Amino acid sequence: MSKKLVIAYSGGLDTSYCAVSLSKAGYDVHAVSVNTGGFSDDEIKNIEANAYKMGVSTYKNIDAIASYYDKVIKYLIFGNVLKNNTYPLSVSAERIIQAIEIIEYAKSIDAEYIAHGSTGAGNDQVRFDMIFQTLAPNIKIITPIRDGSLSRQEEIDYLKDNGIDMSWEKAKYSVNKGLWGTSVGGSETLTSEKPLPESAFPSQLKHTEPEKVVLSFSKGELVAINGEENSPEVNIEVLNTLASAYAIGRDIHVGDTIVGIKGRVGFEAAAALITIKAHHLLEKHTLTKWQLQHKDYMSNFYGMHLHEGQYLDPVMRDMEAFLQSSQDKVTGDVFVTLKPYHFDLDGISSQHDLMSAKFGSYGEENKGWTADEAKGFIKIVGNQNKIYQQVNN
């Protein structure tokens, strides 16, 4: 009797090797792909056709875009999360949802085994393994690439020996596209000194004339673009289409991997960067200074724990509750101008704008206190420093 196994299948070299080798080893292989954005219908059909060539029993594509937004991206926006002040966690965020969806599917078909194509050198092995073993500790994890320390050429030779030759020659760049951005790795990113060339990025400059865009938020969620309402995940896709034509959102992230080495990767995340920056501007107008201060470090912790694969720890739900609560008054419009390679945040309009002229204008006039009251306030607020200096000097 064959052993039922679910494989996290992307259609690339590593997961293709896993599918073929595990089928040959007597496993009943069920391939699953999770769409977290970036897949067209034709691409999904092509992945499915190739999966059956690898000997799998069934193939399933799970549409998790809405779930991805609701469980993860929403909180990354609420927290204005940019790892190392740069990276919107494009890949690490989607791996969490992919792992959850795959293990839940494995449980639903009573699979005894689950497999993924991660190597032993990266972050994904940690994210997949931690979620798999947490949600289904009785399902055994199999990782042929990691366990065999296989080189890319060894995988290609094995597939060719088994009659599968799909032009596996490695592209110069490894590209991973999703709803929250596209990563671009390889060549220049493997060293520290060189930038990625223009041609490496998936979106090229098409528009040069500036374009005004209005982003409407309701309780921190992007609910409309230019007055047209839609679900936030659809609005993110619409914004990305508009902004990527200006080649906006390119950068290179340098970060610390979970396994303790430095990593460098290029990315293109136009919608993510614009949404986060626009949302943050709206927060600056609608939140108190203490809300903003405490949100900063809480959001940093949330992004780091997510990146490190700690999504299932209950502290994440605690931080999500805090972030959700902080968004109660984050409603209004943000005015953005798209330009080649960059964007401007022009301003905001909100009924909750705390920069209200009826209380005074910064540096100009006040309407809520007298000059003597200001002098008294300054004297008291500076009292501790005055005492310290007099005692110690």
Distance of CA 101 to the CA centre of its chain: 16
Going by DSSP bridges, is the β-strand pair 113-115/211-218 parallel, antiparallel, or unpaired?
unpaired
pLDDT for residue 6: 95
Strand partners, 224: 216, 229
Within 8 A by CB and 6+ apart from 52, the residues are 59
The listed range with the strongest mean pLDDT (225-234, 261-270, 348-357) is 225-234
Q: Are 8 and 55 in contact (CB under 8 A)?
A: no
- Name the CATH code of domain 174-287+329-349 (choices 3.60.15.10, 3.90.1260.10, 3.40.1360.10, 3.30.750.200): 3.90.1260.10
pLDDT for residue 28: 93
Sheet strands (E) in 147-261:
174-178, 181-185, 211-218, 221-225, 228-229, 250-256
Residue 327 confidence class, pLDDT cut points 50, 70, 90: very high
pLDDT for residue 11: 84
H or E segment and range at residue 5: strand 3-8
H or E segment and range at residue 262: strand 262-268
- What are the tens digits of pLDDT across the range 272-281? 999 999 999 9
Q: Which residue has the higher pLDDT, 119 or 88?
A: 88
The domain limits of the chain are: 3-161, 174-287+329-349, 362-392
- What are the tens digits of pLDDT across the range 114-169? 999 888 778 888 899 999 999 999 999 999 989 888 888 888 888 888 888 777 66
d(CA 327, CA 159): 51
Return the structure tokens found at 357. 């002229």
The reported pTM is 0.92
For domain 3-161, the CATH class is alpha beta
Return the structure tokens found at 179. 């709803």
pLDDT for residue 41: 87
d(CA 95, CA 8): 11
Residue 255 confidence class, pLDDT cut points 50, 70, 90: confident
Check residue 241 and give left, alpha or beta (phi > 0: left; psi -120 to 50: alpha): alpha
The residue type at 98: Q
Sign (positive or negative) of CA dihedral 372, 378, 384, 389: negative
Q: Are 8 and 115 in contact (CB under 8 A)?
A: yes
pLDDT for residue 134: 95
Check pLDDT > 70 for residue 193: yes
d(CA 253, CA 84): 8
Separation in Å, CA 63 to CA 76, 271, 391 = 20, 20, 66
Strand, coil or helix: what is 185? Answer: strand
Separation in Å, CA 48 to CA 9, 16, 96, 259, 317 = 10, 12, 22, 33, 35
Check pLDDT > 90 for residue 238: yes
Sheet strands (E) in 54-210:
58-63, 113-115, 140-142, 174-178, 181-185
Check pLDDT > 70 for residue 359: no
